[in-house]
């Protein structure tokens, strides 16, 4: 997936807005695909992104969680966990499948972080729980390459 054009998508967010990759062109887009709300690792991963949100924004990056729960559940979760970035609802995991971030044996996302650069190409792709520092470093490196090229 790394270096490839990111598949476009349009999903409803926890704040009630439709979000498409195309409308975010010009910014880095951080997609945190995760299995489920209210699980220890997922909660920790989203909390870390939330703690570093200002740094992401200063790096011209928009952050989104992505999982298969309904928008109503996403909204309640974001409010309860005080997340300052939206979660996109991907019922059935259609978008997760496009990004190869869906499990084939369960109807859940596979923990994967994808960063799409301002031109629409995937510049970071990692399974698991990369740290915010690792993701921000990849964004800064991609921005520097873009500026020099």
Nearest to 124 by CA among 140, 139, 102: 139
Select which of 6, 30, 31, 42 is catalytic.
42
Nearest to 33 by CA among 69, 74, 67: 67
Would residue 42 show up in a list of annotated catalytic residues for this protein? Answer: yes
CA 129 to chain centre: 12
Residues 84, 62 contacting (CB under 8 angstroms) = no
Nearest to 132 by CA among 38, 58, 22, 35: 58
SS (H, E, C) 72-93: HHHHHHHHHHCCCCCEEECHHH
Compute the distance between CA of residue 106 and CA of residue 131 in angstroms, rounded to an integer: 25
Instruction: Give the active site residues.
Output: 42
């Amino acid at each position: 997936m790394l270096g490839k054009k990111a598949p476009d998508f349009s999903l409803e967010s926890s704040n009630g807005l439709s979000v498409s990759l195309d409308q975010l062109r010009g910014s880095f887009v951080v997609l945190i695909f995760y299995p489920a709300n209210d699980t220890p690792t997922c909660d920790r991963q989203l909390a870390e992104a939330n703690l570093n949100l200002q740094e992401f924004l200063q790096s011209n990056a928009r952050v989104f969680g992505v999982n298969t729960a309904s928008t109503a559940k996403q909204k309640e979760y974001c409010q309860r966990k005080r997340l300052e970035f939206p979660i996109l609802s991907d019922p059935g995991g259609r978008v997760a499948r496009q990004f190869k971030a869906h499990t084939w044996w369960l109807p859940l996302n596979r923990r994967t972080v994808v960063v799409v650069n301002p031109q629409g190409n995937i510049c970071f792709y990692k399974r698991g729980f990369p740290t915010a520092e690792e993701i921000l470093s990849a964004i800064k490196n991609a921005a520097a390459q873009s500026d020099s090229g």
